[in-house]
Structure 1
Amino acid sequence: MEVYSRKPPARRTTDRIKVGIADFAVGDSESTLSTSGLGSCVGVALYDSRAGIVGLAHAMLPAGEGKTDVAKYVDTAIDALVDAMSDEGASQGRLVAKLAGGSTMFEFKSTDESVGDRNVDAARATLAALRIPIEAEDVGGDHGRSLELDGATGALHVRSAAAGRQTL
């Protein structure tokens, strides 16, 4: 499976794949994909159980059409992740999604909706346009999260100092 980021793709060298901020990765049934530091950022986990392919994106901002740093933006990160997973044998028609993050970390009086809320809205809209169902979510609130995606089961483990642990 491939690891993707702002840099050219590199062949993975371990079954544990770290996904950075503004980054995404694809793994197989023997992989565990993880990311940390999700505040207003949104984590999008995709899973094709039949192909045994998983993908995880950690996106910072809602819309990036026309931008070159595709992993930084929710809409373009999801599109790129779906393409990368398809290249590894996943079928878009079999993908299911799980979302986490999108917290309101700071209050700004000048805007109606936080960056976190807009990131979650962008993820939902992009997934709906691609006809990828959202199976579970842990979004919003005012706390950070860390994620671990199990390639064998598609389970998304969410950790937070404020909200504890849960599995989606």
Structure 2
Amino acid sequence: MKVYDGSQTESAAQSTPERIKVGIAEYKVTTEPALLTTSGLGSCIGIAIHDPHSMVAGLVHVMLPSAADIDGGNSAKFADTGVEALIEAMEDAGASTDTMEAKIAGGSDMLDFSESGSSIGSRNAAKVRETLEEFGVPVVGEDLGGDHGRSVKLEADTGNLVVKSANTESKTL
């Protein structure tokens, strides 16, 4: 007879996937069945890439569209260089762009102060798509735009991206 007393057995504790937090302007890659998480996605975009063939997964939290006008700095801060850095790190871990798939979330217009008509969120989304296309990585799921923040959780073993937002139910991409 099994007794459920609220404590975890050693095997149950070992089966719980590690939670890996990805901060703003950071990326992380794993080959383990971990949960890669990031929050605070307003105009920022979370790009989750999974290679089901090699079982490599990665997540980057980008803030701005392009590093072109910035000298040096953190590559993960920008959509173009952040996506490139994530793909290169995943390739170093054994992934291939031939079998990678991307899912993206964020890019809202929460605080749009632009006078040019194009918000940071929509410019981020356009640059993310453009950069993924340059590397031949298809976008197979997305939750973009609107006027609300999001947080995401990438299940590294399945490639599922769970998106939570303040005004809608969680959805799995």
- Both proteins in one fold, TM over 0.5: yes
Pair 1:33-2:33 in alignment: no
Give how far 1:30 is off: 1.4
Correspondent of 2:53 among 37, 50, 54: 50
Q: What is the root-mean-square deviation of aligned Cα atoms in Å? A: 1.2
Asked if 1 retains the 8 angstrom alpha-carbon contact of 2:112 and 2:120, the reply is no
The sequence identity of aligned pairs, in percent, is 46
Segments ≥4 residues shifted beyond 3 Å: none
- What pairs with 1:11-160 in structure 2 (closer than 5 Å)? 15-65=18-68, 67-108=72-113, 110-160=115-165
Unpaired segments ≥5 residues, structure 2: 1-16
Distance 1:98 1:137 in 2: 5
Distance 2:60 2:112 in 1: 25
1:93 is paired with a residue whose SS is coil
Distance 2:153 2:74 in 1: 24
2:122 partner amino acid: D
Residues 105 and 94 (structure 1), Cα distance of their counterparts in 2 relative to 1, 3 Å cut? same
1:131 partner amino acid: G
Asked if 2 retains the 8 angstrom alpha-carbon contact of 1:59 and 1:72, the reply is yes
TM-score scaled by structure 2? 0.86
Asked if 1 retains the 8 angstrom alpha-carbon contact of 2:29 and 2:90, the reply is yes
Unpaired segments ≥5 residues, structure 1: 1-13
CA deviations on 1:12-67 (whole Å, 9 max, x unpaired) are xx821100000000012411100000000011000000111000000000001453
More strand by share: 1
1:56 partner amino acid: L
1:142 partner amino acid: D
Aligned residues: 155
